[in-house]
A and B are shown apart, each in its own frame.
Chain A
Amino acid sequence: MISFERVAKRYPNGREALSAVTLHVAPGEMVFLTGRSGAGKSTVLKLIALLERPTRGQLIVNGENTAKLPARRIPAFRRRIGVVFQDHRLLTDRPVFDNVALPLIVADISMREIDKRVRAALDQVGLLGKERMLPLELSVGEQQRVGIARAVVSRPPILIADEPTGNLDHQLASEVMNLFRRLNEVGVTIVVATHDLLLVRESGLREIALADGVVSGAEAPLPSMQAER
């Protein structure tokens, strides 16, 4: 589903965020991406969502070689990836409904269908009935769940999350993790970048540890995973 093959990323300012990353995520898998700040977690996620392009190496996401995807096909590519941010990136001047509906609106879905799917997504994150509220009227945990609803409303096969629990206490973080687990159970491939090692250990899921721009330690991908794509 996601396949990094000796991927390097050097930013225009000369900083090399990734030097040679090889990692694979199988369809329907949920993995954690760990490492200290600056280890390259965010860069890996940016490359998956095609917010950045690799400098070297091969990166295949959803069967697309991201290095070769023409710019005009990027919007369609991004519609198949849900993104959750630590700061949730909600539009504070729009009600919850409009925020969650945005991925469907840009995809020219009919209003009736949008209505149905937004309610379904809000139901999934336990916020049904708060459609007309503004994001700032919600608690931090609820805001994060609105962000998750927006990421999954178009039913993307891949969901990536950058420190989704960074601003939450342990209980709220666990709730968010359970939400991800449930989404994973219905077949969504999920990559979560986090430095909350306790959360990772509790989950018992595979951990990909990044250090200094490469995958480190024993958590390197399993041979069976490399067979995927």
Chain B
Amino acid sequence: MSGFGASAWSSRHAHALLSSMGRLARHPLATLLTVLVMALALALPLGLDGLVSNVRTATGDFSGAIGLSAYLHLDVQEERIQQLARSAREHAGVGRVEVISAAAALEQFRKDSGFGAALDALTSNPLPPVISVTPTAEASSPAGVETLRRYLAAWPEVESVQVDGDWVVRFNAILDELRDVLLLAAVLLGAGVVAVVGNTIRLEIDNRRAEIEVTKLVGGTNAFVRRPFLYAGTLYGLLAGMMAWLIVLGATLSLQPATTRLALAYGSHFVLNGPDVREAELALAVGTVLGWIGAWLAAARHLARIEPESA
């Protein structure tokens, strides 16, 4: 028995892989359809993920627009205002704090509004002092901004708190929500990919029943019989991952000119980002793993039931 050894083992695996490839190549249309269904299921979450990333990049510039203005009572003393600003600076989630005194606010208003003469008629300054707070990037979530608003509103010296740029906050919240939906969709579509591969492999097992019976009869182990099916499933997954990546790439390229025109119309130099190398790797890895899982499930379920029978 000189033939045993690692080289024989690896050549068996190479043999199984090649015969699986040959089988897929022999039925190009059936293979293409299966791969296409799987690729579409993979491309959808991949494409949506790219969309969310792009929208986030496009709106990223607006994060500076988020801020809170705490309007103080008119009678709060300057010293107390500075005290409050100091404690605000030390509060968690606070990025930048700016104090706009009543006098400064009036000066600003006089300059901007053009009501200079009318304002001179006033005996006292009607504008309140303001503490303007910009949250850190991490605290720019709806919950973070709300926490800051409550913190500022709790001060007895504060008349009211106004949140600026809260549409950005809400928009980011929508994007986060979208990402959760995306994750859920990805899980469901992934299950779909497993089911498609599983069903394809099940049909393949039925078609090769005679071969499986004879192989088991002459002493083929379950692992040996399973091997070509696992390779086939993995190949389906790998091809589907590649095709999914190409689909998303193609979609990105076809949308590129329109997006650039739209961005230019808004004076932006935003460029639609296509799937990168990391996403290509992810698509291939996820496709391959799902293909393997689908094949394994089908093989485990159906191969055990096929046992040789004497005529």
With a CB–CB cut-off of 8 A, which chain B residues contact A111?
A: 8, 11
Query: Are A103 and B218 CB-contacts (below 8 A) given A85-B311, A162-B310?
Result: yes
Considering the chains assembled together, what is the distance between the CA atoms of A110 and B15 in angstroms?
12
With a CB–CB cut-off of 8 A, which chain A residues contact B220?
A: 75, 102, 106
Q: With an 8 A cutoff between CB atoms, is A45 at the interface?
A: yes
Q: Name B217's contact: one of A78, A87, A104 (CB within 8 Å).
A: A78
Contact B3 A106 (CB under 8 A): no
Considering the chains assembled together, what is the distance between the CA atoms of A108 and B220 in angstroms?
10
Report the minimal beta-carbon distance from A39 to chain B, rounded to whole angstroms. 14
Q: Name A42's contact: one of B2, B9, B310 (CB within 8 Å).
A: B310
Contact A110 B221 (CB under 8 A): no
Contact B218 A110 (CB under 8 A): no
Write out, one digit per residue, whether chain B residues 198-223 have a CB within 8 A of any chain A CB (1) or not (0). 00000000000011011111111110
Residue of B with least CB distance to A87: B311
Contact A49 B217 (CB under 8 A): yes
Contact A109 B219 (CB under 8 A): no
Q: With an 8 A cutoff between CB atoms, is B180 at the interface?
A: no
Report the minimal beta-carbon distance from A140 to chain B, rounded to whole angstroms. 15
Report the minimal beta-carbon distance from A2 to chain B, rounded to whole angstroms. 15
Mark out the residues of chain B between 2 and 48 whose CB falls within 8 Å of any chain A CB in the assembled complex: 2-5, 7-9, 11-12, 15
Contact B2 A113 (CB under 8 A): yes
Q: Name B221's contact: one of A46, A83, A106 (CB within 8 Å).
A: A106
Mark out the residues of chain A between 7 and 64 whose CB falls within 8 Å of any chain B CB in the assembled complex: 42, 45-46, 49, 51
Q: Which residues of A contact B (CB under 8 A)?
A: 42, 45-46, 49, 51, 75-79, 83, 85-87, 89, 91, 102-114, 150, 154, 162-163
23 chain-A/chain-B pairs, Cβ below 8 angstroms: A42-B311, A45-B310, A46-B309, A49-B310, A51-B217, A51-B308, A75-B216, A77-B219, A78-B217, A78-B219, A83-B217, A85-B310, A87-B311, A89-B217, A89-B311, A108-B4, A108-B8, A109-B8, A110-B5, A111-B8, A111-B11, A114-B3, A154-B219
Q: Which residues of B contact A (CB under 8 A)?
A: 1-5, 7-9, 11-12, 15, 210-211, 213-222, 224, 307-311
A51-B308, A75-B222, A102-B215 given; 15 more Cβ-contact pairs under 8 Å: A46-B309, A49-B217, A51-B310, A75-B220, A77-B219, A78-B216, A78-B218, A87-B311, A91-B211, A102-B218, A104-B3, A105-B12, A105-B15, A109-B4, A110-B11
